[in-house]
Amino acid sequence: MTTITRRAALSGMLAATAGLAAGCGNGVGSPGASVIDARVASTMNFLYSNYPATTQLRDKSTGILVMPVMTKAALGAGGSFGRGSLLVNGQPIDYYSAAQASLGFQLGAQQYAQVLFFMTNDALFRFRSSPGWEAGGDIEYALNDQGANLSATTTTSTSPVVGVIFGQAGLMAGASIEGTKYTRIIP
Confidence of residue 28 (pLDDT cuts 50, 70, 90): very low
Q: Can you give the pLDDT at residue 124? A: 95
Hey, what amino acid is at 153? T
Q: Where along the chain do its domains lie?
A: 1-26, 31-185
At 120, is the secondary structure helix, strand, or coil? coil
The residue that leads in pLDDT, 88 or 164, is: 88
Q: Where are the alpha helices (DSSP H) in 53-149?
A: 54-60, 121-129
**pLDDT tens digits, one per residue of 146-165:** 344 454 544 445 689 998 88
The CA–CA distances, whole Å, from 144 to 74, 125, 136, 147 equal 24, 28, 20, 7
pLDDT of 122 > 70? The answer is yes
Tell me, yes or no, if the pTM score tops 0.85: no
DSSP 119: -
The residue that leads in pLDDT, 173 or 35, is: 35
> Taking a C-beta distance cutoff of 8 angstroms, is the pair 135, 126 a contact?
no
How far apart CA 141 and CA 56 sit, in angstroms, is: 15
Q: Can you give the pLDDT at residue 66? A: 98
Helix or strand holding residue 136 (H, E) = none
At 27, is the secondary structure helix, strand, or coil? coil
Q: What is the mean pLDDT of residues 112-117?
A: 93
DSSP 8: H
Q: Can you give the pLDDT at residue 14? A: 36
Q: Can you give the pLDDT at residue 106? A: 76
Strands 149-151 and 143-145 turn out to be antiparallel
Q: Can you give the pLDDT at residue 151? A: 46
Hey, what amino acid is at 172? M
Taking the CB of residue 35, how many other CB atoms lie within 10 A of it?
Answer: 13
Q: Can you give the pLDDT at residue 153? A: 46
